[in-house]
Amino acid sequence: MRVAFLVATEGIEQVELTEPWQAVSRAGGRPSLIAPEPGRVQAFNHLDKADTFPVDLTVGEAKAEDFDALVLPGGVANPDALRVDEEAVALVRGFFDQGKPVAAICHAPWTLVEAGVLRGRTLTSWPSLRTDLVNAGATWVDEEVHVCTAAPSVLITSRNPDDLPAFCTALLAELKG
């Protein structure tokens, strides 16, 4: 299984990238890091710079049909940058259009708002996104992980790094199912 991890050039919450990445790898999957620009992306531990990671494909090179699922890590700056990148938003929308699973944690649902894919869905996120998600037509819940099976795509969401074990378990269950 090929899993796309879509991130901005900087501002990614490192643990929200690395833990799902490792879970996918341990399960025999092939994760790929996709970003707007080639080179490396800068992750953060909350507000402090952390590690950098090599980009496998740019947003312009990536196609939803080449992957089995999409993971959107959080971090405040990461989804805020992605939501103004038209190619990134189109790529996200492509996963939904093709009915492929999408997993988003913490602030990552901001990108989903911009993609226009939340109407009629139920999801969770970092609490400060609640109003944005409701205004986009979603129902917001305060849960460790929420799996929304509304067509066309399964949407897996969690609130924050503390929820990563449940998030990764739900992601792997969907990929194996």
> What residues are labeled active site?
106-107
**What's CA 69's distance to the chain center, in Å?**
10
Q: Report how far residue 117's alpha carbon sits from residue 92's, in angstroms, rounded to the nearest whole number.
A: 9
Handedness of CA 146, 94, 62, 132 (dihedral sign): negative
Task: For residue 86, count other CB atoms closer than 10 A to its CB.
Answer: 10
First-last CA distance in the chain:
12
